[in-house]
Structure 1
Amino acid sequence: MKKSIIAFGIVFSLVATSLSASNGPDKPVLKKNLKIEKTTIKDLSPLSIAVVKGNFDTTKKFLEFGSDINQKSGTMGMTPLMYAARYNKVELMKLLVANGANVKAKSKIGVTALKYAKAANAHAAVKYLKSL
């Protein structure tokens, strides 16, 4: 009797799990124009975190899904381009600029991406920004 109850419980849980795992015909998990603007750790936007970490693919996805490319976040109110400049992430800077990042935007303290790059001795970033 105990074995029957245990077997029934296992079968029931497996059926319930497989039914809940089925989500129908290939539906996309994310939708275009989904606004992901919630700030997180240290008040950084998800886009800024992707830039700081140097994750090109994630940054590109955030842009594809409509993240605000010029959103100021963090204690200094820096844009994603400012973070890319500060950390010398030139490929990310090119991606951001190509998608409309404001090169002349200023942080809360009035500093541009070029000034952040200079302060961080990010030579490649400085060279790129001066070429624009």
Structure 2
Amino acid sequence: MNNRNISISDSEWKIMKVLWEYPNITLKEIAGRTKECGWGYSTVRTLVNRLADKGAINADKGVPNNFKYYPVVGEEECKIKEVKSFLEKVFDGSASMLISTLVKDSELSDEEQKKLRDIIDKMDQ
């Protein structure tokens, strides 16, 4: 993430997903788009402030009391960091152990199986 080691909590991920989809929105708009989480406005404000403190988001402060927030880090780079962290923590860095677990303990559809085979085939190229 641009040489930043930003750790994003599960709740903060929900805020980030909103901002990746709808950059440059107000705190009130973020609260509206996360209402299914059951959070009050102050909780959303706290999460947004934490993300800003971490450097994951920033705000256009052109209009006082109506800041527009936007992500500073990209969705893809955050996903990659999270997957690498999960892989290291749970599977000691072994991608094959992760895939093996997914295949053994999940009922993959024919389409999912094909996608996995296609990904592995592309690695050989």
**What is the TM-score normalised by the length of structure 2?**
0.24
Where is the helix percentage greater, Structure 1 or Structure 2? 2
**For the pair shown, which has the larger CA radius of gyration, 1 or 2?**
1
Where is the strand percentage greater, Structure 1 or Structure 2? 2
**What is the TM-score normalised by the length of structure 1?**
0.23
